[in-house]
Amino acid sequence: MNRYTAPLADLRFALHDVLDVDALYARLPGCETATGEVIDAVLEEAAKFAEQVLAPINQSGDAEGCAFDAATHSVRTPKGFKEAFARYVEGGWIGLTADEQFGGQGLPETLGAALKEMIDAANLSWGNYPMLSHGAASALEHHGEDWQREVFLKPLVSGQWTGTMCLTEPHCGTDLGLLKTRAEPNADGSFNVSGTKIFITAGEHDFVDNILHLVLARLPDAPAGVKGISLFLVPKFKVGKDGKPGERNAAMCGSIEHKMGIHGSVTCVMNFDGAQGWLIGEPNKGLAAMFTMMNTARLAVGLQGLGLTERAYQNALAYARERLQMRSLSGAKFPDKPADPILVHSDVRRMLLTQKAFAEGGRLLGLYAYTQEDIRKHSADAAERERAEALVSFLTPIVKGLLTEAGIECTYDAIQIFGGHGFIAENGMEQYARDARITTLYEGTTQIQANDLLGRKIMQLKGAGLKHFLAEIGAFCAQHANDASLAEFVGPLGAAAKEWGALTQEIGARAAANLEEMSAAAYDYLFYSGYVSLAYFWARAVAAADASAHGADFKQAKRLTARFYFARILPRTQTHLAAIRSGAATLMEMSDAQFG
């Protein structure tokens, strides 16, 4: 038992009924072609690709893994992966949201997010390959020169070449100020890049002939720390300004990692030995370009957590309906069978409802963030663009942090529902749990997301995104203040939003006196913020369902899941609130020696 069916009904509900993207795209310049009919057609075809091409090679790809040939520095991906990529390119999926002037289809990012959720649910390992190309393309589009966009961006968009992000070094992870990779200028305007990068996803593979590595490095006269970092494009095969590929570059895969999960996704040690590269953006301004890639990737990894949550839920629900064990405490529900399906048992339902609440609520949170990205890119109103940019910046660490941690919780719950059978590889549940574990680590750990949310988005940027989000929640609560059918959600949501604002001010005041208070509160603040955010989207989901043409069962299921969320998951905020208020002393008073 290992199945995946794209959640088309819920994706359509999220996009059309809750987020009303039909009206949004009708008014955004450049998005007018994304009509309701086009969106539904894209979703249907994407579902077929995910279900029929990617899902069947997920488990086999995990079992086979990637193989490294040290003699040729080459990597063989699992059976079917290369062919799936060729079909992905042939179908035009790789350029779905890319600008038309670079060969893309110019469709909204939100539609690309829906596609990505399906890809990651079907085959997370395979999904890493196009994800890295998307990040590299974003960096080139925003920071590359005209000739670089012509020579490098178009082949990325077409799928002729793929891309990577090369940031981490053996001694240098989050603290990029410590990186040692160097770049020496050449007379022709190129640079010789030397250094070693680790944990490079898709650094070498057999999908395409050329791979474009975006590498952080230091120029000879660069200042110390993060202010002295530049970004370079280093191709596997040299490429001149005329766009013609040349000889093999001195950029080689030295080895691949043997990992806990995502076995079908190759993770490389990359050695650059005077490899020819081209400067992207201004000298010593590489962090800005890097964060263009990183923020794109962080939202994308949040969708990975969402996809795994959905996949785990589907399989756990199917098993719970089939597996017979004991009788319901309130009496046999299937007296003609030797026992009842485990779906009748309350704690199995608790785990299933947790998965359902995170999948459907998380889908709204993730897609909403992408609608703000579309507004930021396309709106003709400068104030609206500024608001959207603040919102997507604020929500990125919440999407990445909460949805990946939820993915871990929900994939582990799937194992628990399967019982001993969940521990057996043939059933596939343990793969989801192993795959989910990396999502809270790469593209910035959960702790990095927490510090980014509280330290930068709240303290440094004075909570601009939070203010917009709280105002939106407040407007929703005011709109439905007299709606008796939503009272059970609107009242608690309004109270939680008010508490969120007050808590933020409280942390700010304490951090002003002692900066350790900010760091000590960050992790719990991230989850507090995430749970309130999901409460908002669950309240919106019930309101949208009630107003929709969906059937009674669909509407009731939304209401009952929202009721479960508000009763069983939203109260987790109070645990995080208590932890925040316990202060930094509970973490910092113990001396190093007393740890033992």
User: Which residues belong to the active site?
Assistant: 443
Question: Which residues pair with residue 172 across a beta bridge?
Answer: 169
**Which DSSP string do the residues of 61-90 spell out, in sequence order?**
HHHH--EEETTTTEEEPPTTHHHHHHHHHH
Name residues whose C-beta falls within 8 Å of residue 450's C-beta, 6 or more positions apart in sequence: 397, 401, 522, 523, 525, 526
Measured at the CA of 440, the angle between CA 50 and CA 234, to 5 degrees, comes to: 75
> Would you give the DSSP letter of residue 583?
-
- Identify the H or E element spanning 267: strand 267-280
Beta strand 74-76 with 67-69 is antiparallel
For residues 1 and 427, is the Cβ–Cβ distance under 8 A?
yes
Tokens of 37: 């009919």
d(CA 97, CA 390) in angstroms, rounded, equals 21
d(CA 487, CA 498) in angstroms, rounded, equals 16
Of 395, 167, 190, 179, the C-alpha closest to 291 is 167
Q: Secondary structure of 224-251 in the HEC alphabet?
A: CHHHHCEEEEEECEEECCCCCEEEECCE
Of 452, 445, 124, the C-alpha closest to 305 is 124
- Going from the C-alpha of 174 to that of each of 14, 52, 189, 291, 529, the distances in angstroms are 35, 38, 30, 13, 23
C-alpha of 423 from chain center: 26
Tokens of 205: 């593979």
d(CA 379, CA 376) in angstroms, rounded, equals 6
Of 156, 119, 115, 127, the C-alpha closest to 139 is 156
Name residues whose C-beta falls within 8 Å of residue 13's C-beta, 6 or more positions apart in sequence: 541, 544, 545, 548, 550, 554
**Which DSSP string do the residues of 272-336 spell out, in sequence order?**
EEEEEEEEESSTT-HHHHHHHHHHHHHHHHHHHHHHHHHHHHHHHHHHHHH-B-S--TTS-S-TT
Measured at the CA of 462, the angle between CA 457 and CA 463, to 5 degrees, comes to: 55
Task: Map tokens 């490098």 to a residue.
Answer: 152
Sign of CA dihedral 148, 149, 151, 152: positive
Of 428, 417, 406, the C-alpha closest to 354 is 406
Sign of CA dihedral 287, 290, 296, 301: negative
For residues 363 and 406, is the Cβ–Cβ distance under 8 A?
no
Question: Which residues pair with residue 230 across a beta bridge?
Answer: 217
